[in-house]
């Protein structure tokens, strides 16, 4: 009797599951067939759940503890267009992880700890991917090498938007973006980029927007300005960098004055150093005294140079004189001795006479003799 009851219960559950049919939803997730959306948010998941419904278009697996993703994770999800894996602990992305997601248009990997990115990590079958968010996604600056390789190997020629903000990037390997020929928007803000080199932006022929705010740029040198000029129709964002207003900044300031239309935040570019020029707009810095080309400075300099030269010549002559003296030290000594002897003779002669003169007897004798 009891066994029969249990059997019925199990059968009932099975029926319920079957009648729910397509709306089976993995544990820890919320599925909405109407919205074609599956959300698995903050559920301590350690792996991508299995059994995600095949109707899913928008898949959010956010705020869990997923550490690795590979090609086995997303089988049979042909219709997923938006995938967000943000706020996990993903450290490794294997090759071809996203290849089975034939419709994928937007991939959000922000807020992860990517340390190992395999070369074909971002290969997508149909080149559908339009948007890749890697904001705060890299474990540290070293990961940029792996990233550069995967951006070259993967098929991302139709990518439109790439977000690499807040990754602590110090430099960008030359040609890192060279295969992203369709890219329109590149977000590089809040990194530690110190300079732009020849080749940094090679390949970005269709770029429309480049954001470099909040980096570590002190100036942009000729090389960087040429690189910027090659991005023909781009809108630039360059504020909130520690621009240092010494002579080095002049070419950049001049370029900025001529490129106002392309630099969206041109009014917000200010000197951070030296303290005396802090918060001064870079647009006015060309008119200020940077101490680079003062009028009359040339003449002054020539005069100073001639004084220095004169001093040197006099010093040299003095040295030669001392040297000659040194070489002739024996002759000079002899002459001095001679002179001293001569002096002594004269002195003794004088002294003798004086002594004679001062002897009263002798003087008396002499006076009487005179008399």
Ligand X SMILES: *[C@@H]1O[C@H](CO)[C@@H](O)[C@H](O)[C@H]1NC(C)=O
Pick the piece of the chain touching ligand X (CB under 6 A) from 159-167, 308-316, 334-342, 343-351: 159-167
| Closest to ligand X by CB, 19 or 279 | 279
In SS3 terms, the chain reads as: CHHHHHHHHHHHHHHHHHHHHHHCCCCCCEEECCCCEEEEECCCCCCCCCCCCCCCCEEEEECCCCCEECHHHHCCCCCCCEEECCCCCCCEECCCCCCCCCCCCEEECCCCCECEECCCCCCCCCCCCCEEECCCCECCCCHHHHHHHHHHHCCCCCCCEEECCCCCCCCCCCCCCCCCCCCCEEECCCCCCCCCCCCCCCCCCCCCEEECCCCCCCCCCHHHHHHHHHCCCCEEECCCCCEECCHHHHHHHHHHHHCCCCECCHHHCEEEECHHHCCCECCCHHHCCCCCCCCCHHHHHHHHHHHHHHHHHHHHHHHHHHHHHHHCHHHHHHHHHHHHHHHHHHHHHHHHHHHHHHCHHHHHHHHHHHC
Pick the piece of the chain touching ligand X (CB under 6 A) from 2-10, 279-287, 327-335, 349-357: 279-287
Binding status of residue 63 toward ligand X by CB under 6 A = no
Question: According to CB under 6 A, which residues from 75 to 104 bind ligand X?
Answer: 79, 82, 86
Binding status of residue 111 toward ligand X by CB under 6 A = yes
The least CB distance from residue 72 to ligand X, in Å, is 19
Residues 6+ apart with CB under 8 A from 212: 188, 189, 193, 236, 237, 238, 241
| Closest to ligand X by CB, 154 or 190 | 190
List, in sequence order, every residue forming a beta bridge with 58; answer none if it has no partner.
37, 82
Residue in this structure with the two tokens 């001679």, named with its chain if needed: 338
Binding status of residue 223 toward ligand X by CB under 6 A = yes
> By CB under 6 A, how many residues form the interface with ligand X?
34
The least CB distance from residue 79 to ligand X, in Å, is 4
Residues 6+ apart with CB under 8 A from 91: 67, 68, 112, 113, 114, 115, 116, 139
| Closest to ligand X by CB, 8 or 254 | 254
| Closest to ligand X by CB, 86 or 97 | 86
| Closest to ligand X by CB, 55 or 243 | 55
The least CB distance from residue 107 to ligand X, in Å, is 9
Binding status of residue 265 toward ligand X by CB under 6 A = no
Question: According to CB under 6 A, which residues from 240 to 259 bind ligand X?
Answer: 254, 257
Binding status of residue 140 toward ligand X by CB under 6 A = yes
Q: Which of 71, 119, 251, 286 binds ligand X (CB under 6 A)?
A: 286
Q: Which of 28, 32, 43, 58 binds ligand X (CB under 6 A)?
A: 58
Residue in this structure with the two tokens 């419904």, named with its chain if needed: 53
Binding status of residue 261 toward ligand X by CB under 6 A = no
The least CB distance from residue 171 to ligand X, in Å, is 11
Binding status of residue 198 toward ligand X by CB under 6 A = yes
Pick the piece of the chain touching ligand X (CB under 6 A) from 7-15, 25-33, 106-114, 204-212: 106-114
The least CB distance from residue 278 to ligand X, in Å, is 4
Pick the piece of the chain touching ligand X (CB under 6 A) from 65-73, 138-146, 309-317, 345-353: 138-146
Instruction: Catalog residues that contact ligand X under the rule CB under 6 A.
Output: 54-55, 58, 79, 82, 86, 105-106, 110-111, 130-131, 133, 135, 139-142, 161, 163, 166, 168, 187, 190, 198-199, 223, 226, 254, 257, 278-279, 286-287
């Amino acid at each position: 009797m009891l066994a029969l009851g249990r059997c019925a219960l199990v059968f009932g559950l099975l029926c319920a599951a079957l009648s729910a049919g397509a709306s089976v939803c993995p544990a820890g997730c919320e599925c909405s067939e109407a919205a074609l959306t599956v959300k698995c948010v903050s559920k301590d998941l350690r792996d991508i759940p299995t059994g995600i419904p095949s109707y899913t278009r928008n898949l959010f697996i956010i705020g869990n503890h997923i550490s690795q993703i590979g090609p086995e994770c997303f089988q049979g999800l042909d219709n997923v267009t938006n995938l967000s894996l943000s706020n996990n602990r993903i450290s490794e992305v294997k090759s071809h992880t996203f290849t089975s997601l034939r419709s994928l248009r937007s991939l959000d990997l922000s807020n992860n700890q990517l340390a190992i990115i395999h070369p074909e990590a971002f290969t997508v079958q149909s080149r559908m991917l339009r948007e890749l968010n890697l904001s705060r996604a890299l474990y540290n600056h070293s990961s940029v090498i792996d990233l550069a390789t995967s951006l070259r190997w993967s098929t991302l020629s139709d990518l439109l938007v790439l977000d690499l903000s807040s990754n602590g990037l110090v430099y960008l390997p030359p040609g890192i973006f060279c295969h992203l020929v369709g890219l329109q928007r590149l977000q590089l803000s809040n990194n530690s980029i110190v300079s732009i080199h020849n080749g940094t932006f090679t390949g970005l022929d269709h770029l429309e927007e480049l954001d470099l705010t909040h980096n570590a740029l002190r100036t942009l040198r000729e090389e960087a300005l040429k690189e910027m000029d090659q991005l023909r129709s781009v809108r630039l964002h360059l504020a909130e960098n520690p621009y240092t207003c010494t002579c080095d900044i002049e070419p950049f300031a001049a370029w900025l004055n001529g490129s106002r239309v392309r630099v969206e935040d041109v009014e917000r570019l200010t000197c951070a150093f030296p303290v005396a020029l802090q918060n001064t707009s870079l647009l006015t810095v060309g008119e200020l005294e940077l101490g680079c080309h003062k009028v009359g400075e040339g003449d002054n300099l020539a005069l100073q140079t001639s004084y220095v030269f004169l001093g040197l010549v006099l010093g040299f002559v003095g040295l030669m004189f001392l040297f000659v003296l040194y070489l002739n030290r024996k002759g000079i000594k002899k002459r001095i001795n001679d002179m001293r002897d001569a002096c002594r003779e004269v002195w003794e002669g004088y002294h003798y006479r004086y002594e004679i003169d001062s002897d009263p007897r002798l003087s008396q004798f002499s006076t009487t003799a005179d008399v």
